[in-house]
Structure 1
Amino acid sequence: MPHRMLAKQMFLLLHDSFTGRPAAGPELLRCGVAAAALADLILARCLALEGDRIVVAGSRLDSAADEIGAFVVEMVRRQKKAYAVRSWVETLGETLFDLVARSLVTEAVVRRESGKRRVLHRMPDRFPGVDLRRAVGPRLQFERMLRSSVEPEIGTVALAAILCALGIEQVLNDEAESKAKWRNSIESAAQSLPDEMPGFVTGIEAVGAALLLKVRR
């Protein structure tokens, strides 16, 4: 199965292609990117789920994976025991977000604009598109998926399922009257995911619930 670099696609989805403004809070951004990286490796059969825990699927990394994927697989491989999806998303989120951001800047897909400092905090960095064709590509894929009768690409479906699990599917469409329709379309498409992915998505839902509880406190 070809490597889709879903972490980069998720990063681009979570930032406005023109202004570079993030579409969600910092923790959700990091968790979204980390979840996409893990999903990509599960779909590529580099990682697998045993119950709710992530394990290395084979003795070597799929040759199609990039350095970010290699880093994730090696991190999982080093552990003496297997950890749950939520643990990996929360642990890897900040590092993977930075790695993906650096990679997209190096590839001249986006540029990084440091957030302005306020009295009590610094505003989030922005990542406006440099190569707008590539920066807006993931969003166009979603629009095709949700408006076409053609079977969607499995990576796009996985990203949609992650966004729903984290409760931030509004990044795809912020029109209140059509949110429910979009979510139903995404959940319907998610039924085509491989057998391991529903368990993975359940783990991501646990991440989203924990973040929501944290905000309410």
Structure 2
Amino acid sequence: MEQGALTTGFFLIALDEPAGRPALHPELLACGLVGAQLADLVVAGALTVTEDERVHATRSAAPQATTDEAAALVLDSVVHEPRAHPVRAWVDALGAPLTELVQIDLVRRGVLAVEERRGLLGRRHTRLAVTDPPAAHAPETTLRSMVRHPSTFTLHGASTLVLVAALGVEQLLEPEIDRATARDRAGQATAHLPGAIARLRDGLAAAATAVGVAVRR
């Protein structure tokens, strides 16, 4: 799977196509995107997550190891920090810029387009339109298929489902996949994933809980 596929895939799964915007609150979307990018770099062997849920660069990590802008942002940030920080800290620090980079990348690749419209009072509104339906729908379609047929799960697919469950946003897969099934499959998948992904899941769940509390205030 291409570099950054976990991150762009999560963005597309979260996209509410009729509304032209992500179905998640911006802070929760950012939490998922940072988690997905960290997971992508863990799978690539550039980062790891320790028992205290802190993110560390591995010996093989290097800023020039990736040409993907979103991945480079996260990897460079971790590599150049003098000490390790927990997952939640990276969500707070990188959520907004990472969200912007992922959207820009999808528009540049022709998967999405930004449309501007005027409302009844002349106000301008922007929306995201799908311009490449097969590419835009592939992450969600593939993940749903894997949930129905667990033997087909890939490392990236299992990681994505585990992150979706950690955020508590299984509704993104409805109505084809119900919450209980998604959670059950995510629990099964965790046992087969690298330990660093499981620890990332725990850190991401804590960050998502904090975001949820802040949003409800």
Structure with greater strand share of residues:
2
- Counterpart code for 2:182: W
| 1:46 CA displacement | 0.5
- Secondary structure of 1:35's aligned partner: helix
For residue 184 of structure 1, report the CA deviation from its aligned partner: 1.2
CA distances 1:7-40 after superposition (whole Å, capped 9, x unpaired): 1111111103455332111111111111101110
Q: Is the 8 A contact 2:167 2:205 kept in 1?
A: yes
* 1:195 positional shift: 1.5
CA-CA distance at 1:153 after TM superposition: 0.9
> Given the alignment of the two structures, is residue 216 of structure 1 paired with residue 216 of structure 2, yes or no?
yes
Distance 2:117 2:15 in 1: 14
Structure 1: give runs of 5+ residues left out of the alignment.
none
Which runs of 4 or more aligned residues in structure 1 lie more than 3 Å from their structure 2 counterparts after TM superposition?
1-4, 59-65, 113-119
The two structures, once aligned, show a CA RMSD in angstroms of 2.7
**Superposition pairs of residues 27-42 of structure 1, within 5 angstroms:** 27-42=27-42
Report what 1:140 is aligned to: 141
Task: Tell me by how many angstroms 1:126 deviates.
Answer: 3.1
**How many residues get paired?**
214
CA–CA distance in structure 2, aligned partners of residues 24 and 155 of structure 1 = 21
Q: Which residue identity is paired with 1:200?
A: L
Query: Would the aligned equivalents of 2:87 and 2:203 in 1 still touch at CA under 8 Å?
Result: yes
TM-score, scaled to structure 2: 0.87
Structure 1 position 188 matched with structure 2 position 185: no
- In structure 2, what is the equivalent of residue 112 of structure 1? 114
% same residue: 32
Tell me if the contact between 2:66 and 2:72 (Cα under 8 Å) persists in the aligned partners. no
Query: Structure 1 213/116 Cα, relative in aligned 2: closer, same or farther at 3 Å?
Result: farther
Q: What runs of 5+ residues in structure 2 fail to find an aligned partner?
A: none
1:169-197 superposed Cα distances (whole Å, 9 cap, x missing partner): 1101147x932122212222232111111
Contact 1:17 1:136 (8 Å CA) reproduced: no
8 Å CA contact 1:19, 1:128 repeated in 2: no
Compared with structure 1, are the counterparts of its residues 118 and 59 closer, same or farther at alpha carbon in structure 2 (3 Å cutoff)?
Answer: farther
The residue number in structure 1 matching 2:55 is: 54
The code of the aligned residue for 2:58 comes to A
1:140-188: CA deviation from partner (whole Å, max 9, x where unpaired): 111210111423011111111111111111101147x932122212222
What is the CA–CA distance in structure 2 between the aligned matches of 1:29 and 1:117, rounded to whole Å?
A: 26
Contact 1:10–1:159 (CA<8 Å) still a contact in 2? yes
The one-letter code matched in structure 2 to 1:135 is: A
Match of 1:101 in 2: 103
Offset of residue 2 of structure 1: 6.3
Per the normalisation by structure 1, the TM-score is 0.87
In 2, Cα distance between the equivalents of 1:167 and 1:77? 30
The change in CA–CA distance for 1:101 and 1:54 in structure 2 (over 3 A counts) is same
**Structure-2 separation of matches of 1:118 and 1:79:** 48
Residues 4 and 37, structure 2, Cα contact 8 Å, conserved in 1: no
What amino acid is the match of 2:43? L
User: 1:116, CA displacement in angstroms?
Assistant: 7.0
